[in-house]
Structure 1
Amino acid sequence: MPAAQKVTAGTSGMTAWRRSLAEYTERRVLLILPLGFASGLPLLLTFSTLSAWFATAGVSRATIGAFALVGTPYSFKFLWSPLIDRLPPPIPLGRRRGWGISIQLVLIAATLALGSCNPKIDLARMGALALLVAFLSASQDVVIDAYRVEILAPDQQGPGAAMIQTGYRIAMLVSGAGALIVAARFGWFAAYATMAALLAAGMLVFIFGPEPSTPPDAQPHTAATGWDAVREWLATAVTGPFADFMRRPMWPAILIFIVGYKLGEAMAGVMAMPLYISIGFSLNEIAAVSKLVGFFATVVGAIVGGVVTSKLGVMRALILCGILQSAGNLFYVLQAVGGHRLDYLALCVAAENLTGAMAGTALVAYLSGLCSPAFTATQYALLSSLASVGRTMVASSGGVLADKLGWVPFFMLTTVATIPALVLLIWIARRDAGSSPASGNRLLHG
């Protein structure tokens, strides 16, 4: 290649990367960051932060463990997502903004009520309020995910996925360590009141942000009455999202890929803590490295994943990030062989969070692109729940495998566990490109 052509190609490549980075400064992409923050903020308020409150109040360990069940709504949010997709919101500001503001107002009130309780005398009430906060938080996630998918252009889904994950991770730091700092100085009500006030960040986006246009097939039908209206609503809101997705070519293969894509990472993640403890790391050492290194690695990974997705296209980004995610598990092997070394621990945590966040961003962008405008909330809730199956169900066998194989063979296994999903993805991309050249080119090249 002549020198002039090399310079031109290099300049073009740099320009493309700059364009990918510049997409993070687009107004609609920036709006996703506070929405991600609002989405992640309530989670720890009903989980580890609440557990810390109970522990300091002298609540029994058995009771603290039982309170983990209040997180159940996050796994079943797809059951009521059709209501959010189809029913008019209590506040008439549009299908997404109206539901978003309505849910967040009640969520703020429920968070304040939870913070005003006394664990020594109000455990039953706190259980009901924690469950309500989790339900409202999961419902808020349904609205936020649908809003994100609908207001962003296809080439903005990668940066949008990075923004939602970055905001979510920042919120978990604030509602975890930040809430504990506030509680230590000013009490638990002040901590929960502060978190409730910070939820207004998401509400401001819904108040001042744009309302996505509602497609014609998502408009409510008013001609039918009585049971005919009920049957019509069930057909469009409940069975409609499934029927619409199953009209997509190769939909069974797509579902299998979604389940398997993060399987290896999930298997390794479940056994990471037992590995660290078995080779002699203290809880303080693990916590310090995980909080500091893990947080920054996740944020960087999410942003890099968004840039890669925007530059290479969703399919290529999924393949590249999936390979890196699998290779990242090899650092567990290094840790198992190297033993108690803090530098290895920092490297292992950094690799795990960096590659996992990159792959997570690419996957969120892919799931977003699979949703039809008429059923965004329902279909994304279903697909995201399906993506967690590998983490919650299949990965639960990790302990048995680790016991039988040993640490090094087990983590070697996790590095290849995602290969079938990646091979399936390549097959899907080629079949899609062959059956619809325009679609395949768009998916492969962005």
Structure 2
Amino acid sequence: MPVAEGVTVEGKGMTAWQRSFAQYRDRRVLLILPLGFASGLPLLLTFSTLSAWFATAGVSRATIGAFALVSTPYALKFLWSPLIDRLPPPIPIGRRRGWGIAIQVALIAATLALGSCNPKVDLTHMAALAVLVAFLSASQDVVIDAYRVEILTPDQQGPGAAMIQTGYRIAMLVSGAGALIIAARFGWFAAYATMAALLSVGMLVFTFGPEPAIPPEAEPHTNARGWDAVREWLVTAVTEPFADFMRRPMWPAIVIFIVGYKLGEAMAGVMAMPLYISIGFSLNQIAAVSKLVGFFATVIGAIIGGVVTSKLGVMRALILCGILQSAGNLFYVLQAVGGHRLDYLALCVAAENLTGAMAGTALVAYLSDLCSPAFTATQYALLSSLAAVGRTMVASSGGVLADKLGWVPFFLLTTVATIPALLLLVWIARRDPTPWRKRQDSISA
């Protein structure tokens, strides 16, 4: 495992909290910020920014809604992550860097091609290119997540998770509001070309950054030939990552916890916008507060979450941040009772984004600790997909519950919805308190 550069020396004479903040000055942790930016940049280019382009071009609402399906690759990336984990990269400069640069070159080209289309005449062509951009973006996420997990020590996973979220959030602001400003002044091709150029920051990291060492168990075997080689590859690339995870103590409980940890936040988030609109806030008011207050609250929350994770450890940070995340939903109750007040809206948005980012950082660090070095890309892609299951499951049920219960009881329900997952986490922590990667490091040492 890599050794953090500079932290050990600087850590002498520091308090534990100072050492936690000092992790953010480590060169490897800093490299994660531009990778998070590259990861988040393409998302809105196939979602809300593309929808805005279609709306200004007179495309029907039904067609715009149907284009939401182009984001499907993000939910299915675990299916092809074994290929990225095991196949030799197209560019022979290392397993992670080679795949990272190759995918990003293709992503830049696809983004430029999408931006050069005309939605009035090229909708079918644009659909294919949007799916391609989403597929390459999801594949890029597989490489970036694996690179982040492997390049950082277990103690740096919290700050690394904060950096990935901060870069991601900045990129969404740039590819959302930034792209719209450019499009309004210079046209849509200029907007998409600018976003494609900004993707090069990720290529710079992969070009000049270090390549994580390949663990012995991940080295390819070359003795087998023909069908034996195919069978061996299927075992090591597809079967073994899942078998490896299921050899861990209490893995079913871990899966249930991952699915349920952000369930309450997801339930509240689904109905946040309908709540604001029902109270009488205009879309401009909601957008202004969300973009300004929400952005800074998310960045601050991600950094605090990283510091707390580094100081307290992953398990205790998950519990603390999970409790704060649940308590943050009480501000929706305050908003529902207080009515049309901008100060309550700002407070609600700030609390939602601050606590959600703290919990998200702790969860990313936990998922990173669960990955074996030999199967990082495959296992992290699978675990992150499980973490999204809760958000997907409640998307359709939140409105029904809010209609039946009313705003205040509904948001009180979201406050306690995560309690079963937190209790399960306490049970897991008491029986298996050491993160998986730290235990593996101590065994290998």
Q: Same fold (TM over 0.5)?
A: yes
> Structure 1 residues 433 and 57, CA, compared in 2 at 3 Å: closer, same or farther?
closer
Alignment partner of 1:222 is 2:222: yes
The residue aligned with 2:260 is 260
For structure 2, list consecutive stretches of 5 or more residues without a partner in the other structure: 1-11
Instruction: Provide the residue aligned with 1:246 in structure 2.
Output: 246
Aligned to 1:8: none
Q: What TM-score does the superposition give when structure 1 sets the normalisation length?
A: 0.94
Match of 1:150 in 2: 150
Hey, what does 2:5 align to over in structure 1?
A: none
Secondary structure, in 3 states, of the residue corresponding to 1:388? helix
Tell me what 1:279 maps to.
Answer: 279
Question: What SS class does the counterpart of residue 43 from structure 2 fall into?
Answer: helix
CA positional deviation for 1:13: 11
Aligned residue for 1:5?
Answer: none
Q: How many residues align?
A: 430
Partner Cα separation in structure 1 for residue 145 and residue 14 of structure 2: 31
- Deviations along 1:340-374, one digit per CA (max 9) or x if unpaired, are 11100000000000000000000000000000000
In structure 2, C-alpha distance between the alignment counterparts of 1:439 and 1:169, rounded to whole Å:
32
Are the aligned partners of 1:433 and 1:439 in contact in 2 as well (CA < 8 Å)? no
Instruction: Give the match for residue 321 of structure 1.
Output: 321
Aligned partner of 2:322: which letter? G
Q: Which residue of 2 aligns with 1:208?
A: 208
SS in 2 for 1:105: helix
Distance 1:337 1:273 in 2: 16
Tell me the residue number matched to 2:356: 356
**Alignment-mate amino acid for residue 28 of structure 2:** R
Pairwise CA distance, 1:400: 1.1
Q: How far did residue 235 of structure 1 move? A: 0.8
> Which residue does the alignment assign to 1:127?
127
* Residue number in structure 2 paired with 1:335: 335
SS at match of 1:248: coil
Q: CA deviation at 1:435?
A: 12
- Counterparts of 1:179 and 1:277 in 2: how far apart (Å)? 26
Q: 1:394 deviation in Å?
A: 3.3
Q: Secondary structure at the match of 1:175?
A: helix
Matched, 1:89 2:89: yes
Asked whether the 8 Å contact 1:402–1:410 carries over to 2, the reply is yes
Counterpart in the other structure of 2:67: 67
Report SS of the residue matched to 1:88.
coil
Q: Which residue of 1 aligns with 2:182?
A: 182
Map of 1:22 onto structure 2:
22
2:9 is matched with: none
DSSP 3-state at the match of 2:432: helix
Unaligned regions of 5+ residues in structure 1, if any?
1-11
Q: CA deviation at 1:439?
A: 5.0
AA aligned opposite 2:164 = I
Aligned to 2:304: 304
Q: Deviation of residue 395 (structure 1)?
A: 4.4
Report the counterpart of residue 55 of structure 2 in structure 1: 55
Q: TM-score, normalised by structure 2?
A: 0.94
Residue type matched to 1:182 in 2? I
Q: Percent identity?
A: 89
Letter in 1 for 2:218: A
- 1:28 touches 1:152 (CA, 8 Å); kept in 2? yes
Correspondence 1:390 to 2:390: yes
Structure 2 vs 1, CA of residues 231 and 262 (structure 1 numbering), >3 Å: closer, same or farther? same
Task: Give the letter for the 2:117 counterpart.
Answer: C
Aligned to 1:141: 141
1:171 corresponding residue in structure 2: 171
CA contact (8 A) 1:115 1:189 kept: yes
Cα RMSD, aligned residues only: 1.7
